[in-house]
C-alpha cells in the first residue's frame, strides 16, 4: 500500500522547541498543552510582539511567525523523534509498503527543507518526502492513489472521508478529546498501534484479493 505520513506531530514533535522559542523571544513560559495553534491563542492574544522586520504581531500571527522560526530553521533538528516511529516504518517498508512523508510545512515559506534534513540525520526510513504549501492534502493524496494517511490533525483527515483513503488519526495530547464521527477515520494511539492497524488493513485487502481471484 502507499502510505502517507505527516511530519509534525507524527514523526517528530516540536513542543520543546516552541517552549524554548517563546521563552527566548516572548519572555513567557508556555505549558506543553499551550503549544498548538488553538491552545496558544489565549496567551498570544494578550501579547504584542515586534518581529525583527519591525512588524507588530499578535494572536495567531505570532504562532505563524513562531512556526516559521522553528519549522524553517535548524531548530527542527532539535525536534524529538516519536517512539517506535523508525522501527514501525522500517517494518512497513520491509513488508512492501511505500512510505511518503506528506507535510504542509511549505506554508511557512521559509522552510527550505529542514523536515527532510531531520529525516536524513535521524535515518528515518521513507521513499519520498512531499512538502506542500497549503493545509489541504486531499488533492495530492488522491492524485497519487494513496491508500492510507497518518496525521495528527483531524481537520486534515476529515476531508478524506469517503474518498477510499483510510485515515489514521495519530493521537497527541491536543487531539485526544476530538470525537471522530466518520467510519473511515481510525484513531491510533502510538506507532505500535499504527503498525498493527496498517498490518490489519493490508491483511484484509490481501484476503479480499484472494477471494476475487
Strands 2-5 and 98-103: parallel
| 8 vs 34 by CB, closer to Mg ion | 8
Q: Going residue by residue from 149 to 168, which x/- string records binding to Mg ion, judged by CB under 5 A?
A: ---x----------------
Minimum CB separation of residue 190 from Mg ion in Å reads 15
| 111 vs 152 by CB, closer to Mg ion | 152
**DSSP per-residue letters across 30-78:** --GGG-SHHHHHHHHTT--EE-TTS-EE-THHHHHHHHHHHHTSGGGGG
Minimum CB separation of residue 50 from Mg ion in Å reads 29
Report the distance separating Cα 11 and Cα 181, nearest Å.
Answer: 25
Minimum CB separation of residue 103 from Mg ion in Å reads 8
Report the distance separating Cα 32 and Cα 79, nearest Å.
Answer: 14
Instruction: Tell me the window of 12-20, 49-57, 112-120, 144-152 that interacts with Mg ion (CB under 5 A).
Output: 144-152
Minimum CB separation of residue 107 from Mg ion in Å reads 12
Residue 13 contacts Mg ion per CB under 5 A? no
Q: Is 107 in contact with 137 (CB distance < 8 Å)?
A: no
Q: Identify the CA nearest to 89 among candidates 44, 49, 45, 124.
A: 124
Residue 8 contacts Mg ion per CB under 5 A? yes
- Positions touching Mg ion (CB under 5 A) are 6, 8-9, 152
Amino acid at each position: 500500500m502507499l502510505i502517507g505520513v505527516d511530519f509534525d506531530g507524527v514523526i517528530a514533535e516540536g513542543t520543546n522547541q516552541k517552549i524554548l522559542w517563546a521563552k527566548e523571544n516572548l519572555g513567557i513560559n508556555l505549558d506543553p498543552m499551550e503549544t498548538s495553534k488553538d491552545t496558544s491563542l489565549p496567551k498570544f492574544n494578550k501579547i504584542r510582539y515586534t518581529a525583527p522586520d519591525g512588524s507588530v504581531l499578535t494572536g495567531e500571527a505570532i504562532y505563524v511567525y513562531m512556526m516559521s522560526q522553528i519549522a524553517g530553521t535548524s531548530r527542527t533538528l532539535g525536534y524529538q523523534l516519536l517512539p517506535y516511529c523508525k522501527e514501525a516504518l522500517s517494518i512497513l517498508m520491509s513488508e512492501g509498503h511505500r512510505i511518503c512523508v506528506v507535510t504542509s510545512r511549505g506554508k511557512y515559506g521559509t522552510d527550505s527543507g529542514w523536515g527532510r534534513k531531520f529525516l536524513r540525520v535521524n535515518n528515518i526510513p521513507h521513499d519520498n518526502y512531499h512538502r506542500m504549501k497549503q493545509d489541504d492534502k486531499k488533492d495530492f493524496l488522491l492524485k497519487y492513489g494513496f491508500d492510507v494517511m497518518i496525521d495528527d490533525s483531524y481537520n486534515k483527515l476529515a476531508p478524506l472521508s469517503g474518498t477510499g483513503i483510510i485515515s489514521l488519526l495519530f493521537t497527541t495530547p491536543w487531539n485526544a478529546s476530538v470525537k471522530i464521527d466518520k467510519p473511515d477515520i481510525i484513531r491510533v494511539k502510538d506507532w505500535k498501534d499504527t503498525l498493527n492497524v496498517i498490518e490489519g488493513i493490508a491483511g484484509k485487502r490481501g484476503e479480499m484479493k484472494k477471494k476475487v481471484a
